[in-house]
Each structure stands twice: as C-alpha cells, then as structure tokens.
Amino acid sequence: MLLSFAKIVFMKNITSVISALALVMLLFTSCKKENKNVLDTDTEVASDNDVAEREATNVLDAVDNAAKDKLGKTQALFLPSCAIVTVDTTSPTRNLTIDFGNAPGGCLCSAWDGRYRKGKIIVTWTGNYRDSASVHTIRTQDYYVGNGTDFNQHKFYKTVTNGGRNSSGNIFFNVNVKDTIILANNGGTITWQSQRTREWTAGETTVLNPFDDEYKIWGTASGVTRSGKIFNVNVKQNTPLHIKLNCKWIVSGILEITPQGKTTRTVDYGNGNCDSYANVTINGSTFQIVLR
C-alpha cells in the first residue's frame, strides 16, 4: 500500500513537471512569435547613410568644378566668392585647396546646395587633372557642413582614379572614401566607407555650365550609425544613384541597406524629381523619410 501511494505521488510530480515544461515552451514560443510580429520601423541607418552619401558626392563635385575653373576650362559659377581656391600646377605633385574660411556662421554655398561650410578641402594629383589613370587624393581639414548655426564635422579621406571611357563613351571614376562625421550638438558619430564607380553621364561638353552635369553611382559601402549600429550598403548597377548638380538631393536610385541583426531594407530616392524625400521599405512596409 505504501508502495502504491509512493507511485501515485511520483506520477503526480512527473505530471506537474511535464505541465510546467509545456507552459514554459508555450511562453517561449509565444514570445518568439510576438518578436517576429514586431514591426521594424528603424530608418536611422538610412538617414545616417544619406548624410555621408550626399556629402561624399558634394566634396567631389566641388573639387571637380574648382579644378575646371582654375585650370581655365569654365567660369566660376559653382562655388561662392567666400570660398577661396588656390592651385599649384608647377610642382610634380599638383595641389588644389578650397578654403571656406572659419567664420562662425560659415560660407553660404547658395548656388551649389544652400548649405554653409567652414574649413578646407585639399586635393593632390600628378600629371594632367583629367588624364586617364590619374589619381586624386582628397582630404578635409577642419571641414564643417551645416545650416549656419549647427554644423556637422566631416573628416574625409578619398581617392579618385580616372578609369578613362567605358563602353558607353562616358568618363568613369573609381572612388574610395573614408569619412568620420561628428554630428552637431553632441548628436553622436557616424563612420562610413565606400567603394564606388562614378560615371559622368551628362554635361561633359558644356564646359561653361557646371549645373547640367549628371552622374550615376553604384558600388558598396559600410558604416556605423550614430547609435552604434553596424550596416552594409549595396547599390546595384541596374538601379544606380542618379546625381544632378542642379539638385542638392539624390534624385533617383535604390540602395539595399542591411543593419546588423536585421533584415535588408531598400531606400528608393524616387523617379528623378528634385525633392527631399526617400522611401524606406522594411519587410514589405514603406516609410517616407525627409533627407537633411
């Protein structure tokens, strides 16, 4: 009889343990399902990538147009008068410097993109500026970009190799960039590096008008957002970024961005119109962001 009683107690304990385990598994499964169903609305990586993306393009545009002006190929239309350009073509290594000054409010680049800048962009190269296979090294010195009150500091190091002409007859460049962006008002730091191909698709023949220049850009990038999120970027050749110098935003193209531990999201810059919006699609849901 005692044996039977012990057997009953043992069976009840086993049943309790099994029930408890089943409850734990149910809760764990529910949590997993709940986590999967949480809507991913994180667009920070898209916004931070755009901050780096656009200024990397802007710096190269400024250098190209300053070089064309100082080497006697165009008029001084792109840069404002407060940006002082000096060039040395007598030394074996050529040097060009764009100095925006250090006034507290910065130098207004109204014809370019409407932003204020401080500090210097410095470029060095050998041979002729536009020769195929020529390599330009671009760096910044105390360089800030902002709205006249708040400024982000950009620490650029960039190499640009002229690849000659492609099968379409357009000049193209291989561009490698490293940028550290210290955001205004203790907003954090963004790091960004990229390996891109930049094709000059329009405006080459109209040397007196820099504002009809257009470029297409594709390749890869990676970085870390202001909140410490690692991300990777891919721009496919069939959906390249489209840059027009008469617009301060990217006008079209699609990026694929993959933040660490999250699904890939796409950033669509639109259909060619000049506007400050882009659409970010995450797991089938689309969110509009305002480009800064």
Least confident of 33-47, 80-94, 244-258: 33-47
Task: Characterize 252-280 residue by residue with b for buried, 16 or more Cβ atoms within 10 angstroms of its Cβ, and e for exposed.
Answer: bbbbebbbeeeeebbbbbbeeeeeeebeb
Structure-token pair, residue 21: 């385990």
More confident position, 187 or 37: 187
Q: Is the pLDDT reported for residue 138 higher than 70? A: yes
Residues β-bridged to residue 156? 179
Do the Cβ atoms of 251 and 273 come closer than 8 Å? yes
End-to-end CA, the chain: 82
pLDDT at 210 over 70: yes
Residue 72 pLDDT class (50, 70, 90 cuts): low
pLDDT in tens, 145-170: 999 999 999 999 999 999 999 999 99
Q: What is the mean pLDDT of the chain?
A: 86
Residue 92 CB neighbours (<10 A): 6
| Coil/strand/helix, residue 46 | helix
* CA pair distance 149, 102, nearest whole angstrom: 13
Residue 67 in tokens: 């070089």
Q: How far apart are CA 44 and CA 289, in angstroms?
A: 10
Q: Taking Cα atoms as reference points, which of 151, 45, 63 lies closest to residue 112?
A: 63
Q: Which two tokens stand for residue 263?
A: 């699904």
pLDDT in tens, 190-208: 999 999 999 999 998 887 7
Cβ atoms of 105 and 117 within 8 Å: the answer is no
- What is the spatial distance between Cα 235 and Cα 231, in angstroms, rounded to a whole number? 14
Closest CA to 292 of 121, 113, 83, 98: 113
Q: What is the pLDDT of residue 27?
A: 44
Which amino acid is residue 120, in one-letter code? Answer: K
The structural domains of the chain, with segments of one domain joined by +, span 41-250
Percent of the chain's residues with pLDDT above 90: 67
Q: Residue 130's pLDDT is what? A: 82
